[in-house]
Chains A and B, each alone.
Chain A
Amino acid sequence: MELLNVFIRSAFIENMVLAYFLGMCSFLAVSKSVKTAIGLGVAVIFVLTITVPINWVIGELVLGPNGIFKMDLTFLRFILFIASIAATVQLVEMAVEKYSPSLYNALGIFLPLITVNCAILGAALFMVARSYNFSESMVYGIGSGIGWCLAIVLMAAIREKLRYSHVPAALRGLGIAFIITAFLGIAFMSLMGINPATYFAK
Chain B
Amino acid sequence: MAESAIKTTVPLAPKEGWWGRKERSLITDPLHMDNPITVQVLGVCSALAVTTLVKPALIMGISVVAVTGFSNLVISSLRNGIPKQIRMIVQLVVIAALVTIVELFLKAFSYDVWKQLSVFIGLIITNCIVMGRLEAYAMANKPWKSFLDGIGNGLGYAWILVAISAIREFFGRGALMGYKIVGPSSDFLINTKSSALLSWYQPNGLMVLPAAAMFLIGTIIWIQRSREAKLVDIS
* A96 at the binding interface (Cβ < 8 Å): no
Contact A182 B122 (CB under 8 A): no
Q: A21-B210, A22-B45, A170-B232 are in contact. Are A79 and B100 (CB under 8 A)?
A: yes
Which stretch (A3-11, A49-57, A117-125) binds chain B? A117-125
Q: Is residue A137 within 8 Å, beta carbon to beta carbon, of the partner chain?
A: no
Do B89 and A87 have beta carbons less than 8 Å apart? yes
A75 within 8 A of B: yes
Question: Are A28 and B41 in contact (CB-based, < 8 A)?
Answer: yes
18 extra interface residue pairs, beta carbon distance < 8 Å, beyond A23-B45, A24-B44, A183-B211: A21-B45, A21-B210, A21-B213, A22-B123, A24-B48, A25-B128, A75-B100, A76-B100, A79-B93, A83-B92, A90-B88, A90-B89, A116-B131, A171-B225, A172-B232, A182-B214, A182-B215, A186-B211
The reply to whether A21 and B126 form a contact with Cβ atoms under 8 Å apart is: no
**Pairwise interchain contact A178-B221, C-beta atoms closer than 8 A:** yes
Question: Does A191 belong to the interface (CB within 8 Å)?
Answer: no
Check if B42 sits within 8 Å of A25, measured CB to CB: yes
CB <8 Å contact, A171 and B218 = yes
Q: How far is the CB of B77 from chain A (nearest CB, A)?
A: 20
Check: B233 CB closer than 8 A to any chain A CB.
yes
B215 near A179: Cβ-Cβ < 8 Å: yes
Are B214 and A25 neighbours in the complex by a CB distance under 8 Å?
no
The verdict on B82 contacting chain A, using a C-beta distance below 8 Å, is no
CA A77 to CA B123, docked complex, whole Å: 12
B195 partner residues in chain A, CB cutoff 8 A: none
A96 to chain B, nearest CB (A): 16
Bound complex: CA of A181 vs CA of B92, how far in Å? 29
Secondary structure at chain B's binding surface: helix, strand, loop or mixed? helix
Of chain A, the residue at the smallest CB distance from B38 is: A174
B211 to chain A, nearest CB (A): 4
Q: List 13 A-B contacts (CB under 8 A).
A: A21-B210, A24-B48, A25-B45, A75-B104, A77-B122, A78-B100, A83-B96, A90-B89, A121-B122, A169-B225, A172-B233, A174-B38, A186-B211
Residues of A within 8 A of B (CB): 20-25, 28-29, 75-79, 82-83, 86-87, 89-90, 112, 115-118, 120-122, 125-126, 129, 168-176, 178-179, 181-183, 185-186, 189
Q: How far is the CA of A165 from the CA of B222 in the complex (A)?
A: 17
Q: Which residues of the other chain, A, contact B104 by a CB distance below 8 angstroms?
A: 75
Interface of A is mostly: helix
Collect the chain A residues with CB atoms within 8 Å of residue B123's CB.
22, 118, 121-122, 125
Given A90-B88, A182-B218: A78 and B232 within 8 A (CB)?
no
> Is A170 within 8 A of B225, CB to CB?
yes
Query: CA–CA, A86 to B233, complex, Å?
Result: 33
| Binary interface encoding of chain B residues 87-101 relative to chain A, with 1 for a CB under 8 A from any of its CBs, else 0 | 011001101110110
The interface residues of chain B lying within 8 Å CB-to-CB of A170 are 221-222, 225-226, 232
Contact of A25 among B43, B88, B93, B226 (CB under 8 A): B43
B235 contact set on A, CB distance < 8 A = 173
Docked complex Cα distance between A20 and B125 (Å): 17
Question: Distance in Å from the Cβ of B68 to the closest Cβ of chain A?
Answer: 14
B contact residues around A20 at 8 Å (CB) = 49, 210
**Max chain A CB contacts within 10 Å: which of B119, B126, B212, B215?**
B126
Name, among B104, B119, B125, B211, the residue most crowded by chain A CB atoms within 10 Å (CB to CB). Answer: B211
